[in-house]
Chain A
Amino acid sequence: MAKRSIIPFGPQHPVLPEPVHLDLVLEDETVVGAIPSIGYIHRGLEKLVEKKDFKQYVYVAERVCGICSCGHGMGYCEAVEQVMEIEVPARARYLRTIWMEMSRVHSHLLWLGLLADAMGFESLFMESWRLREKILDMFDATTGGRIIFSVNCVGGTLKDMDRDMLAGICRAADEIEQEIHPVMETFLRDYSVQSRLKGLGVLKKDDAVLLGAVGPMLRASGEAYDVRMLGYEAYGDLDVEPVTAQDGDCYSRCRVRLYEILQSLRLIRQAAEKIPDGEIAVPVKGNPKGEYFARIEQPRGEAIYYVKGNGTKNLDRFRLRTPTTSNIPPMVELLKGCQLADVPLIILTIDPCISCTER
Chain B
Amino acid sequence: MTDEKSVIRPVDKAEFLPAVIRLKKDRWRLAQICAVRIENGYEMSYSFCKEYQLVTLRLVTETEEPVPSITQIYPCAFLQENEAAELFGVPIEEVDPDYHHKLYRIDAETPFKEKG
Q: Chain A interface (Cβ within 8 Å of chain B)?
A: 35-40, 42, 44, 46-47, 50-51, 82, 206, 209-212, 225, 227, 229-232, 236, 291-295, 302, 304, 306, 308, 316-317, 319, 321, 325-326, 328-330, 358
Within the complex, the shortest CB–CB distance from B2 to chain A, in Å, comes to: 6
Q: Closest approach, in angstroms, between the C-beta of B52 and any C-beta of chain A?
A: 6
**In chain B between 28 and 81, which residues have their CB closer than 8 angstroms to a CB of chain A?**
29-34, 36-37, 45, 47, 49, 51-52, 54, 56, 74-76, 78-80
How far in angstroms is the closest Cβ of chain B from A297? 11
CB pair A321–B80 under 8 Å, yes or no, is: yes
Q: A39-B106, A82-B3, A230-B1 given. 17 additional CB < 8 A pairs?
A: A37-B99, A42-B104, A44-B87, A44-B112, A50-B115, A50-B116, A82-B2, A210-B76, A293-B6, A302-B31, A317-B36, A319-B32, A321-B32, A321-B33, A325-B79, A325-B80, A329-B78
Instruction: Give 12 pairs: A residue, B residue, CB < 8 Å, sorted on A.
Output: A38-B103, A206-B27, A209-B29, A210-B74, A212-B31, A225-B52, A230-B52, A232-B1, A293-B3, A294-B3, A304-B47, A328-B79
B interface residues (Cβ-Cβ under 8 A, vs A)? 1-3, 5-6, 8, 24, 27, 29-34, 36-37, 45, 47, 49, 51-52, 54, 56, 74-76, 78-80, 87, 97, 99, 102-106, 111-112, 115-116
**A211–B31 alpha-carbon span in the complex (Å):** 10
Q: What is the chain B residue whose CB lies nearest that of A231?
A: B1
Report yes or no: A44 in contact with B111, Cβ–Cβ below 8 A.
yes
Closest Cβ–Cβ distance, residue A257 to chain B (whole Å) = 21
List of B residues within 8 angstroms of A51 by Cβ: 116
Determine whether the beta carbon of B27 is less than 8 Å from that of A229: no
Contacts of B34 in A (CB 8 A): 306, 317, 319, 321
Nearest chain-A residue to B111 (Cβ)? A44
Which of A38, A40, A230, A328 is within 8 Å of B3, CB to CB? A230
- A88 vs chain B, min Cβ distance (A): 9
Question: Looking across the interface, which residue of chain A has its beta carbon closest to that of B36?
Answer: A317
Query: B56 touching A293 by the CB < 8 A rule?
Result: yes
Distance in angstroms between the alpha carbons of A227 and B54 in the assembled complex: 11
Residues of A within 8 A of B103 (CB): 37-39
Beta-carbon nearest neighbor of A325 in chain B:
B79
How distant is the Cα of A295 from the Cα of B3 in the complex, in angstroms?
Answer: 8
A304 to B30, CA, bound (A): 12
- Asked whether A35 and B97 contact (CB < 8 A) given A42-B106, A230-B3, the answer is yes
Query: Using Cβ atoms and an 8 Å threshold, which residues of chain B touch A293?
Result: 3, 6, 32, 47, 54, 56
The answer on a CB contact under 8 Å between B32 and A229 is no
A225 and B51 contacting across the interface, CB-CB below 8 Å: yes
Residue of A nearest to B4 (CB): A230
Q: Which residues of chain B come closer than 8 Å to A304, judged between CB atoms?
A: 31-32, 47
Residues of A within 8 A of B49 (CB): 302
Q: How far is the CB of B73 from chain A (nearest CB, A)?
A: 10
Q: In whole Å, how far is A340's beta carbon from the nearest beta carbon of chain B?
A: 22
A265 to B105, CA, bound (A): 40
> Once bound together, how far apart are the Cα atoms of A206 and B29, in whole Å?
10
Q: A208's closest neighbor in chain B, by CB?
A: B29
B29 lies within 8 A of A212 (CB): yes
Contact between A46 and B76, CB atoms less than 8 A apart = no
Q: How far is the CA of A347 from the CA of B76 in the complex (A)?
A: 17
